[in-house]
Amino acid sequence: MLDAAPGRGQGSRATMKDVAALARVSLKTVSRVINDEPTVNPELVERVRRAAAQLHYQPNFGASALRRRDGRSSTIGVLLEDLANPFSATIYRAVEEVAIARGVSVLGGSFDEDPQREHTLTASMSRHRVDGVIIAPASRDHQYLRQEQMAGVPFVFVDRPPRLLDADVVLSDSRAGSSLAVAHLIARGHRRIAFLGDLTTIYTAEERYQGYLVALENAGIEVDPTIIARDLRTSDAAQETAGHLLDAATPPTAFFAGQNLLTIGAVRAIRERGRQRNVALVGFDDFDLADLLEPAVTVVAQDPVAIGREAARMLFARIDGDEGPSQKKIVETTFISRGSGEIAAPAERD
């Protein structure tokens, strides 16, 4: 019963021709039945289905795509920053749900902010002749995708807009969300608010920084470059930087962290110093267990499920033939007060 070697080589696989022979019909009739064309005699349909089941026949998508008018491979690409990061993973799952409902498979890939890897993976998608791609690019120039677009492959950008390319995009409102978060801290009396940001090359990192600047400007607070740290890539880097800031002569009374991992780094730095009840913190992007920390962490939450679902909707609309002008969809952020962002600034002394 368990006699097949697990690595057994070239077994045979039934083809339409085999099914046709067993059902004693032509190849074309099998093709019609497999593709649910309605114009087949019910008796033949039955015979073909039985033969297909008996031979465990599975159609070959690659072969059918090769000859088909539309060339559809029933595959899309979903290329994100890092599928092991909850933000990317949630977008991926949301897209997967839409795709599976249409019988479409998903080729996933992670860039890790490496433009070279982006080129490798998009070229790979091209060779697989995917029907469309959802992408959160690592590179800053997307002209190279024009060729694919012109070959009929739609692209939907998520989290970061296309540059030098016309394509659909779904974004969070990073700037408005950040500005609101920083204004929230200012309203609690903070004037020395540190900023922790990811790579300046990342669109959202820049937007969140701009939101921070806008809030300070609206409140008439001068920007202090000594409490602004950008190009932080990891939780550890954020922790170290936040620690240095806290140990300085005139430390910030609050932090605004422009990303998940950076927020967690800030939490660690503040805790290490036992300052978690005195130093305020708001993070951009929600994370698991933020509500179980003490104090719980106030955040600007994004909605990755909505982002993924919307991007999938747009992509399949294009695949279905929509040739209208490119769309831009903004998904609102939600401010969630949990405690860390509601810590007031110490009374001011003059």
Residues that bind DNA (CB under 7 A): 13, 15-17, 25-29, 31-32, 34-35, 38-41, 43-44, 59-60, 63-64, 66-70
Selected from 18, 61, 338, 344, the binder of a second copy by CB under 8 A is: 61
How buried is residue 311: exposed, middle or buried, by Cβ count under 10 Å (0-12/13-18/19+)?
buried
44 binding partner (options a second copy, DNA, none; Cβ < 5 to 8 Å by kind): DNA
32 binding partner (options a second copy, DNA, none; Cβ < 5 to 8 Å by kind): DNA
Helix axes 42-54, 27-34, angle to 10 degrees: 90
The region of 20-28, 77-85, 241-249, 332-340 touching a second copy under the rule CB under 8 A is: 77-85
How buried is residue 267: exposed, middle or buried, by Cβ count under 10 Å (0-12/13-18/19+)?
buried
* By CB under 8 A, residue 31 contacts a second copy: no
* Structure token digits, residue 32: 């019609």
Selected from 20, 47, 81, 96, the binder of a second copy by CB under 8 A is: 96
CB of 337 to a second copy, least distance (A): 19
CB of 8 to a second copy, least distance (A): 6
In contact, 138 and 118? CB cutoff 8 Å? yes
Q: How many residues bind a second copy (CB under 8 A)?
A: 84
Q: Would you say 11 or 274 has its CB closer to DNA? A: 11
Q: Would you say 220 or 324 has its CB closer to a second copy? A: 324
Selected from 31, 86, 115, 176, the binder of a second copy by CB under 8 A is: 86
What are the start-end ranges of the H helices in the chain? Answer: 16-23, 27-34, 42-54, 61-67, 86-101, 115-127, 146-150, 174-187, 203-218, 235-247, 260-272, 304-319
Q: Which of 216, 220, 141 is nearest to 185 (CA)?
A: 216
Selected from 52, 232, 267, 331, the binder of a second copy by CB under 8 A is: 267
Q: Residue 208 and residue 235: Cα distance in Å, rounded? A: 17
* By CB under 8 A, residue 65 contacts a second copy: yes
